[in-house]
């Protein structure tokens, strides 16, 4: 067993891995949107990446709110756009 599965108040490794991937994707899609906005502002890029970013954000929130092992503060902070998933992930890994 790993440290993440030894403690009941810590999410499983799979949950932490999924949250890591989604948090990186959320920040990446936001960066792409902001770069597009600051430079050429291509509408097609915004139309493609905007909904993708929104879906990734919702996936992060769903994981943090419904996956077992997160504390109440992690669940609240996990709902913050852009940094919520990262903050919840850091807090969970500190407890592991």
Residue 95 pLDDT level (bands cut at 50, 70, 90):
confident
Tokens of 86: 């990262």
Write the CA distances from 88 to 38, 42, 48, 94, integer angstroms.
Answer: 29, 33, 27, 10
Q: Which of 61, 65, 67 is nearest to 83 (CA)?
A: 61
Give residue 41's pLDDT: 93
Sign of the CA dihedral with 51 first, then 56, 57, and 59 last: positive
Using DSSP, state whether 45 is helix, strand or coil.
Answer: helix
For 1-49, the pLDDT digits (tens) are: 455 445 677 899 999 999 999 999 999 999 999 999 999 999 999 999 9
Provide, for the chain, the percentages of residues in helix, strand and coil under a 3-state DSSP scheme, each rounded to the nearest 5: 75, 0, 25
Q: Where are the domains of the chain?
A: 10-95
Region 56-74: mean pLDDT is 95
Q: What is the pLDDT of residues 66-82, one digit of tens each?
A: 999 999 999 999 999 98
């Amino acid at each position: 067993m790993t440290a993440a599965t030894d403690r009941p108040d810590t999410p499983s490794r799979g949950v932490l891995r999924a949250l890591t991937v989604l948090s990186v994707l959320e920040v990446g899609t936001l960066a792409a949107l902001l770069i597009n906005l600051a430079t050429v502002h291509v509408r097609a890029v915004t139309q493609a990446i905007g909904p993708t970013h929104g879906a990734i954000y919702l996936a992060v929130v769903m994981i943090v709110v419904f996956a077992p092992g997160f504390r109440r503060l992690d669940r609240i902070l996990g709902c913050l756009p852009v940094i919520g998933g990262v903050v919840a992930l850091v807090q969970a890994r500190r407890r592991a």
